[in-house]
Chain A
Amino acid sequence: MHNNIRMRAENVDFYYSEKKTLHQITLPIYKNKVTSIIGPSGCGKSTFIRLLNRMNDLIPNTRLEGRIFLDDQNIYEPDVDVVNIRRKVGMVFQKPNPFPKSIYDNLSYGLKINGANDKHFIEDRVITSLQEAALWDEVKDRLSENALKLSGGQQQRLCIARCLSVQPEVILFDEPCASLDPISTRCIEELIEKLKENYTIVIVTHNMQQAARVSDYTAFFYIGKLIEFDITEKIFTVPKDKRTEEYVTGKFG
């Protein structure tokens, strides 16, 4: 596999019971780059990103055909340890979903379930993750407070910190700003910009400007098919497919 490719989908079909929702998706995810997935509602972009860490395993009656690689390993091989995949490929969800626990416990949870029990190590990771997620200064004096008391934007950064706590290699963002105000959105975007130095990032977004601002590569999905994949700049300036052009210029959406 190409050195700069971290993940790769190969001829992926996906079914909800008998309904085929993804058709023959083949897509590379480049290392230390931000890849955004855009497209109108119901085009399968969320379904696709959730395949990258096998989150759709939780939905009954679903089936995948094709292969998805993380480095050289097909993550859908029967003998693959899902837990291990999810540790390497973290996820931040559409709606901030901190646990109803303290800020500190939200962050220590992932470490503890993965077997960490050294108090200093955990404390260290908690602080580092909060700093990485640009939340440390706002919460350092209230780590024992319930995370649900934070504002929406802070909660989402907490979820990012929680995801970082277990040191993933790839981070999936499923419309991370869908429920946030513009200022929080900007904060998260800046954060994504910074995070790509150390992580490979995939982001699903409804918002084309956001894709244009934060991503290096863009994939355009339409009715379960990958219509076009290219460097972001090209997708937004010289798209090859007519449907891509119509979507990015706002003719439909």
Chain B
Amino acid sequence: MKFKTENIIKSGFGVLAFSSLLFLFGITVILFKEGLPIFKYVKLFELIGGKLWYPTYDPPDFGILPLILGTFWVTIGAMLIAVPLGIGSALYLHEIAGYRERAILKPVIELLAGIPSIVYGFFGMVILAPFLQRLLNIPIGLCLFTASFILGIMAVPTVSSLAEDALDYVPKSFREASFALGANRWQTLVKVVIPAAGSGISTAIILGVSRIVGETMTVLMVAGGAAVIPKSLFEPVRPMTATIAAEMGEAVVGSAHYHDLFGIGLILFLITLIFNMIAEMIGRRYRLKLGHGR
């Protein structure tokens, strides 16, 4: 009797554990099933390389290059903000901050991650965009720069806390060995600690990128939404995620437009999948390198 109960519990938890595998599988299948039919309408090159996005015109244009570039430039811009801020604050927290500073700063940085993305979007829309518009005297403040700035701030906690974990993971004994040889703090940081934490820090950056690429609500609100290839920082863009969010409700199920949006989703899925896999691989190598994996 007892034996039976144990088995039921075991398999019960097994089902729960494997359910996420099922969801992943289901989502992947749907993405491919609904995304691939777009190639009945356009060729791969026309899809990815096409510069015009007029999915509801007659005849429609399904070029998603402006959307890909929108995502690309927003991501680059956001990383230019998130990487220095995130890694800088991780280094400060880890190397310089005293106990009390750390006790205040760390939770505050992590609190940034807890703010819903719609609030970030709201902030960008109501505060930053009008400010920028007045400051630079441009027609609209919702643009590549605004989106990059807001997304960059959003990714800071991800980069910062993962980079700090990586620094923390470097054994204290490495530092001691370095100091005992007559190295100063700067030499120890640059030549011993950062190289030892290097792959952990790159993982932090990659996961930050993957967070930015996938972010939807904020870019929908602040990027401006024009599906054209941007020529300057202050032109509106329409990243891939925002496009899907804005148009999926209107696309006729089974139409070319519908399949095209799924195609975009598929590409996004593959991008983040690749980033996560790279991060995982680097992380594993890193643990081996520090001798934890053996």
Q: Which residues of A contact B (CB under 8 A)?
A: 53, 55, 58, 60, 83-84, 86-87, 90-91, 93, 95, 97-101, 109-110, 113-114, 146, 148, 159, 162-163, 165-166
Contacts and interface: CB of A to CB of B under 8 A. Distances in A.
A83 B178 CA distance: 11
A146 B179 contact: no
Contact of A83 (B98, B171, B182, B196): B182
A97 B171 contact: yes
B134 interface: no
B191 interface: yes
A81 B160 CA distance: 34
Given A146-B289, A148-B289, A114 B182 contact: yes
Contacts of A159: 177
B179 A93 contact: no
Across the A-B interface, give the 10 residue pairs with the lowest CB-CB distance, nearest first: A97-B173, A87-B182, A110-B181, A91-B180, A86-B182, A113-B183, A148-B291, A83-B182, A97-B177, A113-B187
Given A113-B191, A146-B289, A55 B179 contact: yes
Contacts of B99: 60
Given A55-B180, A114-B182, 11 more contacts: A60-B98, A83-B184, A84-B182, A99-B174, A100-B289, A101-B195, A109-B192, A113-B182, A113-B191, A114-B181, A148-B291
A83 B180 CA distance: 8
Contact of A58 (B171, B174, B175): B175
A163 B180 contact: yes
Contacts of B289: 100, 146, 148
B290 interface: yes
Contacts of B180: 53, 55, 86, 90-91, 93, 163
B95 interface: no
Contacts of B196: 99-100
B168 interface: no
Nearest to A147: B291
A166 B171 CA distance: 23
B110 interface: no
Contact of B179 (A58, A98, A162, A163): A58
25 contacts: A58-B179, A86-B179, A86-B182, A87-B181, A93-B180, A97-B173, A97-B176, A99-B177, A99-B178, A99-B192, A99-B196, A100-B174, A100-B196, A100-B291, A110-B183, A113-B182, A113-B183, A113-B184, A113-B191, A114-B182, A148-B289, A148-B290, A148-B291, A162-B181, A163-B181
A93 B177 contact: yes
A54 B71 CA distance: 53
Contacts of B191: 109, 113
